[in-house]
Every structure is written in C-alpha cells, then in structure tokens.
C-alpha cells in the first residue's frame, strides 16, 4: 500500500536481531549472536521480581523510577537529577538523539559500531556522519574530529566498540572532548564497560566531572544479565536529563525491570564474579585462536571480532553447521559472543576447522 510518510524512513536499515540457536545435528546448539550473558538470573533477582512486582502489573510503574534513580546516583557519585532510566540503553540513546538532533543536523559516530545508531539518527530526521574505524577496529579519532562542523549536534563514542571489541583510551577521549564545542553533547556508550580490561581506558563517569557536555549510557542487559527486561540509564547534566525525560516513551521502564535492577545491585559482587569468569573465557578462546594462527585484535568486551573479509559467508556456514548462531557482517567479519564454556569450545573447534580449510 502507498501511504504518506517521511521518505527518510525508506533509507533506514531495519534492525537485525541476532539469530536464535540453529538446529544442530547430534550436538547442543547455542545462541552467541547478541552479546547476551550466558548465566541464568540469580535466585534473589527472580525472588525480588516475584515478591514485589508481579502482584502490581495492573498498575503503571513509577515513571521516573525514583528508588532506582536514587540508588544509581549514589553508586555513580552524582545527584538523582543527573540520572534518567530507559527501556534499555537503546531507549536512552534514542531519547538523547531526539533531544538534540533533527532535520539539517548531524550526528558523528564511528563505523562499524552499534547497528542501532544509524536507525536512531535517521528516525530523528538527522543525518549520520560515519567515520570508518582504523584497521585494528578502534575509533579513528582524527577522523571523528575532522567530521565535526557547525551542523554537528552529537558525537557518539562506543567504548568498548561493538562489534570490534576495541577500547577507547583516556587520552583519545580527551582529544575528542577538547575538539568538540562545549555546547555540543558527546555520548559515551559504555554498554560493555564492566568487561573492559584495557589499560588506560577512558572512564566516562570520571570525564563527566571535567566535561559537563558528556552523557554516559549504561545498561543492565550485558554484565547484569537483564537483557530481556529492558532497562538502562544515562548520567548527564541535570538540564540534559530533564530534556531526555521529556522525549522519553511514557512508562517505558516496567516495575519488574526496576525491581530486578535494584535486586541486581544488591548482589553486584556475585554478578561481578560472573563478569570475571566471562573475561577469563574470552581470554582463553582468543589465546587458543592465536595458537591456531588467527590474528584477532585484543577484545575488551564479552565478544570478539574475526575479520574475515570475503571469506565471511563461508565461515558463517561452518558456525551454523556446528550449532552456533553468530553475528555475520557479510564481506567484513563475524562477531562472536563469549557464551557457555561448551559453546566457547565449539567456537575454538570451528576456528581450527576454518584454518584447516585455508581461511
Ligand atoms: C554498544 C551498545 N550500546 C547499547 C546497546 C543497547 O543495549 P540495551 O538496549 O539492551 O541496553 C547495545 C546492545 O547490544 C550495544 O551493543
């Protein structure tokens, strides 16, 4: 059917969700395509949801999420006025882009990076200024600085970068902050920061104390394993947060999600232990791949990147055959999430087989 609509929408690529685990013949299959946490929810988190939330689902949630906002403010050393919740950090990023950018404006960000950025920017009617990553998958800082102009309304930095796993150094983050005018906002999307073991990495919350035009986006989806409940938050200057709240989807963050996030903060030490074990698995897999002859850039998230170029599609078939759904970027490479140890063992096996095939 033809219908009147904003033609810019026709140019937006639809978001492609990571594929579910494929059918595997005679072996367990795994979904390692969406950078999810392989651990099941902690019993105390499930109990908090059941005990406090489920009886109240006939009621709207607290739209501002005060209890959680106050807790997050205390943890992050800011005031509650500096925190806004979102239905995942995806919504927080959407709030920010709608707040600052519209037709005629530009949003500068590295590419390849989180695939929602171009969708969110085009959805707001603004233009994307994508800056190609350096060959090692890290942000091209000179390129990002060179892309700034009078139309720039937002710069997005992704640390560590999805899908390449590269970390952004404090020195490079400061170079960007010195180059960006103080009335232009810079979003530090730190969805995977808990996995970032890079020496000298930038820490956006620390930088925020020096540069008030920084917005920090964090999520409970990854290290805290609440991807299915959709909850994330931003830290920013109070007037930025006020603006973001105005354009937020009303009641987008459920009471269940808020309770689960609060309960997760109560057991953060246990969750951090899980993060440590995922990091150990990541390092084990990458070390094994290097022995096989792969040249993987050091990953700093709960996933790693295999640069495969033209061989990407052929390699992707081998993963599916082995019962693994991975994230395939045709002609570029494959992003592999660190999953259960058995899934990781299968990844090592498939990579060995690919090397034997001459890939
Ligand atoms: C870099 C990055 N930012 C933000 C998100 C959004 O996560 P969520 O909306 O689940 O908080 C993701 C999800 O994969 C991501 O990779």
**Residue 216 pLDDT:** 98
Judgement on whether residues 83 and 95 belong to the same structural domain of the protein: yes
- Predicted confidence (pLDDT) at residue 13 exceeds the cutoff of 90: no
**Residue 101 pLDDT:** 98
Given the CA of residue 232, which atom of ligand 1 is nearest to it? 11
Which residues on adjacent β-strands are paired with residue 215?
187
Residue 8 confidence class, pLDDT cut points 50, 70, 90: confident
Q: What angle do CA 98, 99, 102 make, to 5 degrees?
A: 55
Q: Is 305's C-beta closer than 6 angstroms to any atom of ligand 1?
A: no
Distance 192 CA to ligand 1 centre (A): 8
Strands 214-219, 232-235: pairing kind: antiparallel
Q: What is the mean pLDDT of residues 288-303?
A: 96
Among residues 266, 283, 298, the one where a domain terminates is 266
Which residues form the domain of 325? 16-41+269-356
Cα distance between residue 156 and residue 133, in whole Å: 13
Cα distance between residue 262 and residue 48, in whole Å: 9
The answer as to whether 9 is a domain residue is no
The answer as to whether 11 is a domain residue is no
Q: What is the mean pLDDT of residues 211-218?
A: 98
Distance 309 CA to ligand 1 centre (A): 25
Both tokens of 338, joined, read 């660190």
**Residue 25 pLDDT:** 77
**Residue 26 pLDDT:** 82
Judgement on whether residues 63 and 147 belong to the same structural domain of the protein: yes
CA terminus-to-terminus distance, the chain: 45
Distance 191 CA to ligand 1 centre (A): 6
Ligand 1 mutation target, pool 85, 89, 120, 300, most atoms within 8 A of CB: 89
Among residues 266, 301, 334, the one where a domain terminates is 266
The answer as to whether 4 is a domain residue is no
The answer as to whether 108 is a domain residue is yes
The answer as to whether 141 is a domain residue is yes
Q: Is 232's C-beta closer than 6 angstroms to any atom of ligand 1?
A: yes
**Residue 23 pLDDT:** 83
Summarize pLDDT for 113-146 with one digit per residue, the tens: 999 999 999 999 999 999 999 999 999 999 999 9
For the CA atoms of 141, 142, 145, 146, what is the dihedral angle to 10 degrees?
-140
Q: Where are the alpha helices (DSSP H) in the chain?
A: 43-48, 66-76, 89-100, 116-123, 141-146, 170-179, 204-210, 238-246, 255-266, 268-292, 312-321, 341-356
φ/ψ bin of 49: left (φ > 0), alpha (ψ from -120 to 50), beta (otherwise): alpha
Q: What is the mean pLDDT of residues 315-334?
A: 96
Cα distance between residue 188 and residue 193, in whole Å: 10
Judgement on whether residues 90 and 207 belong to the same structural domain of the protein: yes
**Residue 195 pLDDT:** 98
Distance 357 CA to ligand 1 centre (A): 34
- C-beta separation of 126 from 152 below 8 A: no
Share of the chain above pLDDT 70, in %: 100
**Residue 244 pLDDT:** 98
Summarize pLDDT for 15-56 with one digit per residue, the tens: 888 999 998 778 899 999 999 999 999 999 999 999 888 888
Residue 107 confidence class, pLDDT cut points 50, 70, 90: very high
Poorest-pLDDT segment among 2-16, 189-203, 282-296:
2-16
Read off the DSSP letter of residue 169.
B
Judgement on whether residues 235 and 299 belong to the same structural domain of the protein: no
For the CA atoms of 280, 283, 288, 291, what is the dihedral angle to 10 degrees?
-140
Judgement on whether residues 80 and 225 belong to the same structural domain of the protein: yes
Give the DSSP letter string of 117-148: HHHHHHHTT-EEEEEEPPTTS---HHHHHHT-
Judgement on whether residues 194 and 284 belong to the same structural domain of the protein: no
Judgement on whether residues 154 and 235 belong to the same structural domain of the protein: yes
**Residue 344 pLDDT:** 98
Q: Is 224's C-beta closer than 6 angstroms to any atom of ligand 1?
A: no
Judgement on whether residues 257 and 119 belong to the same structural domain of the protein: yes
Judgement on whether residues 80 and 227 belong to the same structural domain of the protein: yes
Q: Is 159's C-beta closer than 6 angstroms to any atom of ligand 1?
A: no
Q: What is the pTM of this model?
A: 0.97
326 CB neighbour count, 10 Å cutoff:
25
Distance 198 CA to ligand 1 centre (A): 20
Residue 9 confidence class, pLDDT cut points 50, 70, 90: confident
Average model confidence (pLDDT) across the chain: 96
Among residues 219, 245, 266, the one where a domain terminates is 266
Cα distance between residue 137 and residue 154, in whole Å: 21
- Predicted confidence (pLDDT) at residue 241 exceeds the cutoff of 90: yes
Judgement on whether residues 54 and 111 belong to the same structural domain of the protein: yes
For residue 99, the SS3 value is helix
CATH classification at residue 276? 3.90.1150.10
Cα distance between residue 104 and residue 123, in whole Å: 13
Share of the chain above pLDDT 90, in %: 93
Judgement on whether residues 218 and 200 belong to the same structural domain of the protein: yes
CATH classification at residue 57? 3.40.640.10
Distance 51 CA to ligand 1 centre (A): 28
Q: Looking at the 3D structure of the chain, how many domains does it have?
A: 2
């Amino acid at each position: 059917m033809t219908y009147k609509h904003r033609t810019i929408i026709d140019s937006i690529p639809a978001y492609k969700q990571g594929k579910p685990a494929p059918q595997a013949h005679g072996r367990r299959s795994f979904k390692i395509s969406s950078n999810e946490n392989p651990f099941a929810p902690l019993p105390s988190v499930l109990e908090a949801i059941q005990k406090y939330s489920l009886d109240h689902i006939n009621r709207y949630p607290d739209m501002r999420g005060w209890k959680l906002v106050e807790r997050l403010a205390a943890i992050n050393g800011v005031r509650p006025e500096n925190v806004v919740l979102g239905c995942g950090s995806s919504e927080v990023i959407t709030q920010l882009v709608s707040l600052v950018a519209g037709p005629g404006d530009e949003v500068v960000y590295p590419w390849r990076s989180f695939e929602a950025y171009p969708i969110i920017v085009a959805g707001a009617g603004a233009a994307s200024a994508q800056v190609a990553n350096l060959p090692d998958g890290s942000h091209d800082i000179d390129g990002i600085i060179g892309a700034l102009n009078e139309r720039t309304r937002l710069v997005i930095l992704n640390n560590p970068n999805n899908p390449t796993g590269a970390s952004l150094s404090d020195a490079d983050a400061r170079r960007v902050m010195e180059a960006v005018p103080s009335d232009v906002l810079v979003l530090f999307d730190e969805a995977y920061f808990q996995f970032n073991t890079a020496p000298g990495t930038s820490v956006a919350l620390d930088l925020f104390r020096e540069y008030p035009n920084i917005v920090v986006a964090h999520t409970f989806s990854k290290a805290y394993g609440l991807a299915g409940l959709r909850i994330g938050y931003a830290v920013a200057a109070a007037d930025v947060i006020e603006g973001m709240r105005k354009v937020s989807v009303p009641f987008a963050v459920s009471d269940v999600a808020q309770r689960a996030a609060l309960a997760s903060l109560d057991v953060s030490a246990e969750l951090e232990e899980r993060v440590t074990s995922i990091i150990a698995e990541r390092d084990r897999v990458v070390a094994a791949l290097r022995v096989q002859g792969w040249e993987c850039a050091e990953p700093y998230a709960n996933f790693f990147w295999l640069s495969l170029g033209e061989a990407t599609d052929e390699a992707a078939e081998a993963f599916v055959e082995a019962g693994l759904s991975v994230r395939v970027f045709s002609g570029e490479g494959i992003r592999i999430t660190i999953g259960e140890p058995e899934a990781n063992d299968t990844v090592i096996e498939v990579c060995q087989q690919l090397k034997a095939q001459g890939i």
